[in-house]
Each structure stands twice: as structure tokens, then as C-alpha cells.
Amino acid sequence: MTECIVVKLGGIAGKNLPHHFFQKIRYWKSQGKQVIVVHGGGNAVSRMMKKLNVQVQIVDGLRVTSKEVLAITKMVLIGHVQPDITNQFLEQGLAAVGLNAADQHCLIGDYVNKPVLGNVGSVSKVNVPFFENLLKEDIIPIVAPLALTEFNQWLNVNADDTACKIAESFKAESLYLMTDVPGIKVDGSWVSQLSLEEAAELKKHGVLTGGMIPKVEHAVCAVQKGVSHVHITDGLHEMGTIISRAEVRV
């Protein structure tokens, strides 16, 4: 399987990608590593919902997604956020293609809790050969956090979930969850490393709130399923908080 690094761009993190972000991507590619990007954009979805007078409801970091909210989410993520990110790659001379679940059924998912969350899903299957074909052509896939069920129903998926599932499927050496904070803060200090056990404990002790809850849960799961390191960071030039198995801590 292609050696790959997965980078997830949170809504704010993907807005104006700095020079050193692309420097790192180019460095990895010069080392023969391929890169897959997953983008978020939850903040842009919420902004649009407010403009349209649609109530925003988030439960444990997941957006309650009615039929109307799903339509807004697709419009904002695939219509606005994704082309803007893909264009930033093109401006840097990097071949990139924006993708969503309907492209060769590349992400299949299941409902998480339909009575409470509506059309919210979790990725259950990644079309690895489809992504591999793009990577072999030296193209960077820029993937939207949406999935289709086996019966072609659209699902709104948390972007960290999407990135973690893709990283698991590729047994990625690293997964970068880029966000608007430099890492995880515990008792007022940024933490540089966490073992799986330490990361799993944080939620229990109420250290994590909002979107950080699913982020850390999915990161733990990704490491359990074979991803070597997950970095929660605000830039590729920073290590941020590294979650890894204790025995391979760097």
C-alpha cells in the first residue's frame, strides 16, 4: 500500500494556508510519501445556517442534521470550502482534486444515532483502490467530510472521523488534525505527548469539551487501528500534542 500521511484541515486552519504548510507537503512528497487532505468547515456551515435563520444544534461536537441542514452542509462544504482549499494547492503548483462521497462511492458510512442526530454518519468503508489510483498519479485528494450509505443516502460526517478512517485504511504513518489551537491543554498547560490510555482518560475527567471530544476519541481509535502518530496541532511545522502507543513514543 502507498506510504501516506493524512492531514485534516479544521475550518479556521484551512482558510489561508501558510507558505510553511506547503513546504512541508513538498518535503513529504520529495521523500516519496503521498498526502491525503480531509477538510472540515463546520464554522462556515454554522455561519450559513445563521444567515438562513436555521437553528444550529451541536451534540457532543456533532451537528444535528435534518434534511434542510444536510442540504446547507453539502452546499457549503462542496460548493465553497472545498474549491477554495483545492485552489490554494493549485496556486502552489500542487496537483490536487476535490472529492466527495459520490465520486466512485469513495466513502461509505452508517447512521450514528438517527433519532437524535438525524443524517449524521460515521465512515465505515474507504474505497482505498480509488484513492491509490490518484496517489499513483501524484494527485493530492482533498476530501469532504460526507459519506453515502450503501443505499446512496447522504450523511454528514465529522471531519476528524473522516480523516481518522482514511488514515486507518492506509495505516498512515502520521495523521495531522490541524485546528485552531496548538494542541490539547490539561490543567492550563499544552501537553506534548499522550499515550492511548492518557488520551482516553481525558474525556472522563472533563478536560475536553465541544469538538475536541470527537477529535480525541477518533484519534485514539486511529492509533489503535494502526496509525503510528496523531498530531493535534495548529500547523504542520509544529508537533502539537502527539497521541501514539506508549512503546513507539518519539
Which of 56, 64, 181, 221 lies at the binding interface for ligand ADP (CB under 6 A)? 181
- Establish whether 63 is an annotated binding residue: yes
Question: By the 8 A CB rule, do 18 and 235 touch?
Answer: yes
Cβ contacts of 44-53, under 8 Å, gap ≥ 24: 44/11, 44/76, 44/77, 44/80, 44/81, 45/72, 45/73, 45/76, 45/77, 48/72, 48/75, 48/76
Give the C-alpha separation, 23 to 154, whole Å: 35
Minimum Å gap between C-beta 231 and ligand X2W is: 15
| Residue 209 in the binding site for ligand ADP (CB under 6 A) | yes
Question: Cβ of residue 69: shortest distance to ligand X2W, in angstroms?
Answer: 8
43 in a known ligand binding site: no
Residue among 109, 141, 211, 240 that touches ligand X2W (CB under 6 A): 211
User: Among 75-83, 130-138, 165-173, 181-189, which window interacts with ligand ADP (CB under 6 A)?
Assistant: 181-189
Using CB under 6 A as the binding rule, whether residue 25 contacts ligand X2W is answered as no
- DSSP three-state, residue 76: helix
CB-nearer residue toward ligand ADP: 8 or 134 = 8
The answer to the question of residue 174 lying near ligand X2W (CB under 6 A) is no
Stretch touching ligand ADP by CB under 6 A, among 5-13, 101-109, 121-129, 149-157: 5-13
- Among residues 25, 48, 49, 62, the one that binds ligand X2W under rule CB under 6 A: 62
Alpha-carbon distance of 163 to 144, in angstroms, equals 10
Q: Is 249 marked as a binding-site residue?
A: no
Cα–Cα distance for residue pair 14/110, rounded to 1 Å:
27
Residue 2: CB minimum distance to ligand X2W, A: 25
Question: CA-CA distance, 111 to 234, in Å (whole number)?
Answer: 30
d(CA 36, CA 173): 12
C-beta separation of 183 from 190 below 8 A: yes
Residue of 115, 230, 69, 104 whose CA lies nearest to 161? 230
Q: Please identify, using beta-carbon distances, which residue of 123 and 157 lies nearer to ligand X2W.
A: 157
210 binds, among ligand ADP, ligand X2W, none (CB under 5 to 8 A by kind): ligand ADP
Nearest residue relative to ligand ADP (C-beta): 211
**142 Cβ partners below 8 Å, 6+ apart?**
37, 38, 39, 82, 85, 86, 89, 96, 97, 98, 99
- 207 touches ligand ADP by CB under 6 A: yes
To the question of whether residue 127 is assigned a binding role by annotation, the answer is no
Q: List, as residue ranges, the binding site for substrate.
A: 41-42, 63, 156
Residues that bind ligand ADP (CB under 6 A): 10-11, 13, 40, 42, 160, 179-181, 184-185, 207-212, 215
